[in-house]
Structure 1
């Protein structure tokens, strides 16, 4: 089945309600009805929460659509109810939930009498919509049309949606929409302490077992990251330079030099690189000097999970970015931003040719903007698009036809660069393995050594895997040759 558009994002959404003309907060709206017909006039006011002292105003609000691309009231009301319970909300989360609900509504609309089916929970379990939808998702998984993790998330959203419908008395099912099981989950936190968590599982949940490919060459560090070897790092910078994109070159170079993620590189501020007398410190690796750049809440630079830390920016990289920050190119782009949006209190370092940010800082995204005129959040799309359309094709044409990478792989590449540098010092007897381990952990801002050890063991683990496969391959070849000799004897 062809998937249709499931949601639409409204740049500006302000919750309002009808009121009378004598309401002091009333606003008048006039809708023309055409020549010869009286205009439709009514009064409304924005909903205001007196206790919280705020209204319900959102940018990029997701409206759930049905199969005919019309708004689905119940789905959209559910999203609004969830948003009202969180302040300030992360809109990307609710946009994903709206997409899940749109997928469910799309499935409902392909069934007979979908509006009735949604609320029919008969005695026979497999006729209930929750079980039927679970079966449909499993069919998509079997047909390889949907990833198990996506199916699991969609089913979870539908379960949460029905819980909300029941709790708010939109309906009461004749028979339960699912069967529940409660159990305690025991695990260790990042500090190594044992903790437990009460978990509720349903029999409509979809399992998404993780299957690790030992040949993928990835490291699990906030996602599956593939460290690029030295020549691959040179290839992507060569391609970016030849294609003439200075900003993408500097962003990637910064990530390779510091291990920063795209949201960190994309939210660097101009003021961070225009200080009159920047101070430098000795590098953690013992080679050269670095500029210690604070990142996280309160700095203007975004980090994953709002973690605070210090980026160790090599002095040559910092001075290169300082030259860029003071360049005419930067002034022109900043001027284009000001012309479109007005003066920014804390300008970004990197802007596109049109004067737009590459990445919208979280603090700005959480602030309601009544003048927003776009239907998407800026999360580094220009960099990703440039990589897909220019960098990867160039490298495939000139170096390796099977080459691929994603922007976050640069973080893993930095991690492996630092790990190999530290291990060389260990082998030389300059530092201890414990010191090397701690240094890599600090450079990558890891919560626990478990993630750091993935870098320390990466090369040796890959060598062991390939050696095992090659050794088994040699054994198989011997068996094949023995079988061939046996067939020759039998033939004679």
Structure 2
């Protein structure tokens, strides 16, 4: 099956002589560390997609994380092409047999049966369309080929002063609409797990998962850090933890690009993460364990200070990415074993739900003891949210869940009371 890997890209230029081609490194061009590249099942590179990734990464103001996001969607498309045994340039006269039309139909089927969120399907299709637009502009695919039907959409925008303007956007008949779910949605559309389920997941991970995954889940439930932050923790980050002056038994970890050493955070937010002394002791003990030191010995010079390393001495994730192939494999195995052991909490469990759970429980406690205004301030600080609107989702969710629980209890008591009267 097609694979997605990272390479360290160094630009070279070709010097063509009479019968030889000499490649020389471009001194004025910057190398790209962690460039995503796709290979087919026979380890043959998908040259067109990989070239697109290079151009996207070299574009001015383009974030490498955005390139990874796009290539992740192209990778999913590549796996579908291999599964269907078709080619990316397959555009016959019959519209229903064209590869892009068939792929859109596959995404829509995945939405209907609940395998894929509509937002994810929308992003996948949009990334594939961007890739094909580039293929056409680069003449790697004939612009005359019947790929899709273009359409123009006008979006009306009203500014703060009431003035209206219309923004014209180009779209295609292959675009997928994002049908948002009714109700309050947290980050990535995920929901928290209960405190009982969180304990069951952590306990089972300690027994059946690798020590690294068990510790990462413990930090996720205990601190609310995203996976990209957990995977990028440095040894010095833990060694420089300082006691929190306002919270007994808690320490502060400095993360973000402004921390020393820097630790990846979403949107580059710098701040302090609360960590309980027991969790800090657990990861500190792991730092100097024989298991980790063996992995550190295999690591390259740039990764030796990483707290979490795979058995090959490489870091989890791709240079601050919130996704990791190694994590997906380990977590998928843990989910399978957990369901086989009769733990329903593992059904569709994702690592980011540790963050949702931490934030929701923190919001409930803050609302109970200090009200909504204080809860917003505490949750935003603890989770390093860039925008207050993200924090408000957790506050509303926590406030609503408490109200719904009380309403359900009241309804149950009333219903049972009426039922008892009817019995008498």
Counterparts of residues 6-405 of structure 1 (less than 5 Å): 9=5, 11=7, 14=10, 16=12, 18-20=14-16, 42-46=20-24, 48=26, 53-54=28-29, 59=34, 61-63=36-38, 74-86=48-60, 89-90=64-65, 91-96=67-72, 98-99=74-75, 102=78, 135-141=101-107, 143-144=109-110, 147=116, 148-149=118-119, 152-168=122-138, 173=144, 178-184=149-155, 186=157, 198-212=167-181, 220-243=185-208, 245-275=210-240, 279-283=242-246, 287-299=247-259, 300-325=262-287, 327=288, 329=289, 333-338=292-297, 340-344=298-302, 347-362=305-320, 379-390=323-334, 393-394=337-338, 397=341, 400-401=343-344, 403-404=346-347, 405=349
1:30 is matched with none
- Does the CA contact (< 8 Å) of 1:239 and 1:395 recur in 2? no
Shift in Å, 1:196: 7.9
Higher RCO structure, 1 or 2 (CA under 8 Å, sep 6+): 1
Once the two structures are superposed, residues 429-473 of structure 1 have per-residue CA deviations (whole angstroms, 9 ceiling, x without a partner) of xx34322332222222234444333333335535777868x979x
Shift in Å, 1:297: 1.4
Distance 1:133 1:421, change over 3 A: same
RMSD over aligned CA atoms reads 4.7
2:380 is matched with 441
Shift in Å, 1:389: 2.5
Distance 2:185 2:12 in 1: 45
**For structure 1, which segment, 378-387 or 432-441, has the greater mean C-alpha deviation from structure 2 after superposition?**
378-387
Distance 1:195 1:346, change over 3 A: farther
Distance 1:384 1:288, change over 3 A: farther
1:419 maps onto 2:359 in alignment: no
TM-score for both structures, normalised by structure 2: 0.73
Shift in Å, 1:231: 1.3
Distance 1:396 1:412, change over 3 A: farther
Shift in Å, 1:45: 0.9
Distance 1:55 1:152, change over 3 A: same
- The structure whose Rg is larger is 1
2:419 is matched with none
Distance 1:159 1:212 in 2: 25
TM-score for both structures, normalised by structure 1: 0.64
- Does the CA contact (< 8 Å) of 2:154 and 2:169 recur in 1? yes
Distance 2:362 2:373 in 1: 14
In terms of fraction of residues, the more helix-rich structure is 2
Counterparts of residues 443-458 of structure 1 (less than 5 Å): 443-458=382-397
Distance 2:399 2:21 in 1: 71
Distance 2:264 2:239 in 1: 19
Distance 2:35 2:374 in 1: 47
- Does the CA contact (< 8 Å) of 1:75 and 1:101 recur in 2? no
Distance 1:304 1:185, change over 3 A: farther
Equivalent residue pairs, number = 403
User: SS of 2:272's equivalent?
Assistant: strand
Shift in Å, 1:154: 4.9
- Does the CA contact (< 8 Å) of 1:240 and 1:391 recur in 2? no
- Does the CA contact (< 8 Å) of 1:236 and 1:395 recur in 2? no
Distance 1:444 1:21 in 2: 58
Distance 1:452 1:250, change over 3 A: same
User: SS of 2:233's equivalent?
Assistant: coil
Once the two structures are superposed, residues 185-209 of structure 1 have per-residue CA deviations (whole angstroms, 9 ceiling, x without a partner) of 53899xxx99989451324242323
Shift in Å, 1:313: 2.0
Distance 2:137 2:210 in 1: 53
Distance 1:352 1:68 in 2: 25
**For structure 1, which segment, 253-262 or 444-453, has the greater mean C-alpha deviation from structure 2 after superposition?**
444-453
Shift in Å, 1:268: 1.1
Shift in Å, 1:73: 5.6
Distance 2:256 2:266 in 1: 8
Distance 1:439 1:80 in 2: 41
User: SS of 1:46's equivalent?
Assistant: strand
Distance 1:129 1:74, change over 3 A: farther
- Does the CA contact (< 8 Å) of 2:37 and 2:50 recur in 1? yes
Distance 2:279 2:83 in 1: 52
Distance 2:31 2:144 in 1: 31
Distance 2:388 2:322 in 1: 33
1:481 is matched with none
2:420 is matched with none
